[in-house]
Amino acid sequence: MNTSRTKVAGRIFSVLAIVIVILFLVSFAGRFVYIFSSVEAQEVGIQFQNNRISDVVGPGVYSDIGLFVSLQTISSQAIPFGVTDEEIITADKQRIGLKVSGDIFRPGIAQKDEIRTLWSQYRGIYTDDDQATARVVDLTRQSMKVCVGDRSFDDNIIGTSRDALRACIDEELNKLVARIGLRIENLVIPEVILSPAVQTSLDAIVQSRLDTEKASQDELRERAQALAEQARQEGEIRVEQSRIQEQTRQQVLLAQLEQERLQAQLVVIEAERANSLAQLETTRVVIEATKANELLAAQENVEINLVLAEAAIAKAEADAAFQRELAALYTANPEYVRLLLVQANASALSASDKIIFTPEGTTPTIVLPGPGIVPTVDTTPQIAPQSDAPEETAVPEEDS
């Protein structure tokens, strides 16, 4: 029984020893290696070697082996914060309270050099949200007091002054947190806190201002109504004057247009008259030229006829002189006349003509030409001796 217990105790001790050794090895190995360590999308990874920053990396999975290597992450998500301060003194010694809220952002992958420089000083702020929020709250209170203290009560809470106050706190706070590598965005002042006494005094002031402004507004409204009525009447007068002026202007324009139309018609009439005169002048010149041409042609015809008449007279005189000379020649030389008659008769006959001489009072016999028939008379012209015998008539033979 005791032996069994001893064996069980020995096994338990062996298991515990093995576990302790494994844990020691794991813890010891964790200082020399990390495998598949993840950096999420909203984080920035810082790689260490020999306890010094070797690199700043973005989202991903990383592994490393070396002497004292490790990987730590910084969240890049916004850390919301809110600050309320109910006791802030304005420049005119009034007390107000403010509530300010916004988002805190740590340095990201784009600020590698800033992380390397400030890591050793502000490691807790970069890795612990509570530390970052506490530091920003303190700096926000300081910025609130600076900005509110530089302004009067009205400049801090009335109208658009609150936007100027918010911008001032935002600028002042970002100057302070920039020294530790942080930045503030989406800063707002959702509430301005007033004490009851200040609220009562403010209400009274506001009511007085409202009453004063109401009276002023009533006065202004009455003046505005009077001015509006005056403006309306003046407007009606101006409209009537404008209407009359426009009518006058339109009438003047119509008169000018009518005058221009008449002038244009006059120009057209003058142009037509000039064209008519030009046409008449052209017609007159043409008629005169035609008459001159006809007269010249008539004169030329008269002159030509005179010349022709003179030529005809001269030719007639020449022909008459020739005939007179010829008659005188014929009269002086009757033989020559006979010779001409014979030649005329001879020239009237051709080589194929036949001449038959018959006694006067007898009928000539017609001889038809044919084979074996030869001419019996020589028709060659000859000069016959002058004789008192009766002339024989030459009858040409008819061709059958």
Q: What is the pLDDT of the chain when averaged over all its residues?
A: 81
Integer Cα distance of 113 and 298 in angstroms: 128
Q: What is the largest CA-CA distance in the chain?
A: 228
Indicate the SS3 state at residue 39.
Answer: strand
Q: How confident is the model at residue 26 (pLDDT cuts 50, 70, 90)?
A: low
Q: What is the DSSP string of 153-218?
A: HHHHHSTTHHHHHHHHHHHHHHHHHGGGT-EEEEEEEEEEE--HHHHHHHHHHHHHHHHHHHHHHH
Nearest to 390 by CA among 363, 361, 367: 361
Least confident of 31-35, 114-118, 326-330: 31-35
Q: In this predicted model, what pLDDT tens digit does every residue of 120-148 receive, in sequence order?
A: 899 999 999 999 999 999 999 999 999 99
* Inter-residue contact 379 to 396 (CB < 8 Å): no
Q: How confident is the model at residue 387 (pLDDT cuts 50, 70, 90)?
A: very low
φ/ψ of 35, rounded to 5, equals: -130, 130
Residues of the chain with CATH 3.30.479.30: 78-194
DSSP state of 380: S
Q: In this predicted model, what pLDDT tens digit does every residue of 254-270 receive, in sequence order?
A: 889 999 889 998 898 98
Q: Where are the alpha helices (DSSP H) in the chain?
A: 2-29, 112-127, 129-149, 153-157, 161-177, 196-332, 334-348
> Would you tell me which CATH number, out of the four given (3.40.50.300, 1.10.760.10, 2.60.40.1120, 3.30.479.30), belongs to the domain 78-194?
3.30.479.30
Is the pLDDT assigned to residue 369 strictly greater than 50? yes
Rounding to the nearest 10 degrees, give the CA dihedral for residues 176, 182, 188, 190. Answer: -90
Is the pLDDT assigned to residue 179 strictly greater than 90? yes
β-pair partners for 62: 37
Q: What is the mean pLDDT of residues 317-338?
A: 82
β-pair partners for 57: 45
Structure tokens at 320: 């008459």
Q: In this predicted model, what pLDDT tens digit does every residue of 38-61 receive, in sequence order?
A: 888 889 998 888 878 888 898 988
Least confident of 145-149, 209-213, 349-353: 349-353
